[in-house]
Amino acid sequence: MNSYENRDMNSQEFDRDAWLKQKQEDRDAAFGIVADTVQGIKKDGKQLQQYLDVQSKFSKYSVSNVMLISAQMPQATRLGDFNYWKEAGKYIKKGEVGILILEPGKEYKRKDGSTGVNYNTKKVFDISQTNAQQQESPEISRDSRLLMKALVSNAPCEIKAQADLADTENTLAYYDASDKTLYVAKGHSYEELFPSVAREIAHAYMDKDGYDRTAGENIAYCAAYIICKRSGIDAAGFRFDKVTEAFSSMDDKSIKAELGRIRDAANSICADMDRMFEKQEKDRVRDDAR
């Protein structure tokens, strides 16, 4: 944390010029990290996987901020700024360095008439950088049968079990846009089916306005990975070399847009899953109260 981060701006010690200089340096550093991370994602499937791992933990963060976290502290699990941890009754350990992220500021008009946004920087700290206990919020564990039920419960398509999907390119699950139906192969465990069903559910969610399945393949694949990570399903079978190969011919803006669509698809599906879990919990509480 720089020395001007939490200083009273009205105090005699406050040096506005130095503060502005530091803020500009932080902005330049943040944008530089984002640019470098995009280049890494274009070349290395492991860097893309690391980015997706971070996105799976921080669903509300923007693409740029997930890149910043991924580059600075990919193992982070819970983030807050100085005041957040102070209000929680925790303190940041001496010598810890904050993670630089970006926050949207005021909008402005560009010369061409379009609207731009000024970005400010701030520093956040992971729970591991504080005196807080890391396991304050125990993880919820759900079995694969319940997770599969949640995955398909609010799907925007019909679900049909089928004995054989050998005629399709995906042998465990396949979404057919022609009849808005997701076909799932019989004879496999929920754990085996979940990654494929998650991928095909992502296609179903994106099937709007003349959806191009080929163009959406990488989005659906990466969204399925995030869904698996959030659900505690084994994602060891995912490989990202083909995705980075596709990214290699795209410009930085297009890659960030693609990553945004991946985040949005995963968030939509996970939100629907959470709604089923919430309903189930309400039903349980109501039944217990009888």
pLDDT of residue 200: 97
Helix (H) or strand (E) holding 214: helix 213-231
| 86 and 42 Cβ atoms separated by less than 8 Å | no
CA dist 280 and 290 (Å) reads 16
Of the pLDDT bands very low, low, confident and very high (cuts 50, 70, 90), residue 196 is very high
Average pLDDT on 267-279 reads 94
Strands 181-185 and 158-162: parallel
Q: Pick the residue with more confidence: 212 or 167?
A: 212
5-42: per-residue pLDDT in tens? 554 445 557 788 888 888 899 999 999 999 999 999 99
- CA angle 155/158/159 to nearest 5° reads 85
Q: Which three-class secondary structure state does DSSP give residue 251?
A: coil
Q: Write down the pTM of the prediction.
A: 0.89
Residue 174 φ then ψ, to 5°: -155, 125
Q: Tell me the average pLDDT of the chain.
A: 90
| Confidence check: pLDDT of 144 > 60 | yes
- Region of poorest pLDDT, from 99-108, 113-122, 162-171, 263-272: 162-171
Q: Show the tokens assigned to 173.
A: 């699950």
Would you state the pLDDT for residue 60? 95
Closest by CA position to 174, among listed 150, 202, 149 = 202
Task: Report CA Rg, the chain.
Answer: 22
In tens, the pLDDT along 204-248 reads: 999 998 899 999 999 999 999 999 999 999 999 999 999 999 999
Q: Which long-range contacts (CB under 8 A, 24 or more apart) does 208-215 make?
A: 211/177, 213/177
Question: What pLDDT shows up at residue 40?
Answer: 96
Task: Name the packing angle between helices 144-153 and 252-289 (round to 10°).
Answer: 110
Question: In sequence order, what DSSP letters do the residues of 177-207 get, joined into one string?
Answer: TTTTEEEEESS--HHHHHHHHHHHHHHHHH-
Residue 166: C-alpha distances to residues 46, 173, 186, 236 (Å): 31, 10, 12, 24
Q: How many Å apart are CA 34 and CA 26, to the nearest integer?
A: 12
Please compute the mean of the pLDDT values over residues 146-164 and round it to a whole number.
93
Percent of the chain with pLDDT over 70: 92
pLDDT band at 167 (very low <50, low <70, confident <90, very high): low
Whose CA is closest to 94, among 127, 130, 134, 132?
Answer: 130
- In this predicted structure, the answer to whether residue 2 has a pLDDT above a threshold of 50 is no
Task: Give the strand order in the sheet containing 181-185.
Answer: 158-162, 181-185, 173-176
- How many Å separate Cα 163 from the centre of its chain? 34
For the chain, which residues make up each domain, given as ranges?
Answer: 16-129, 144-289
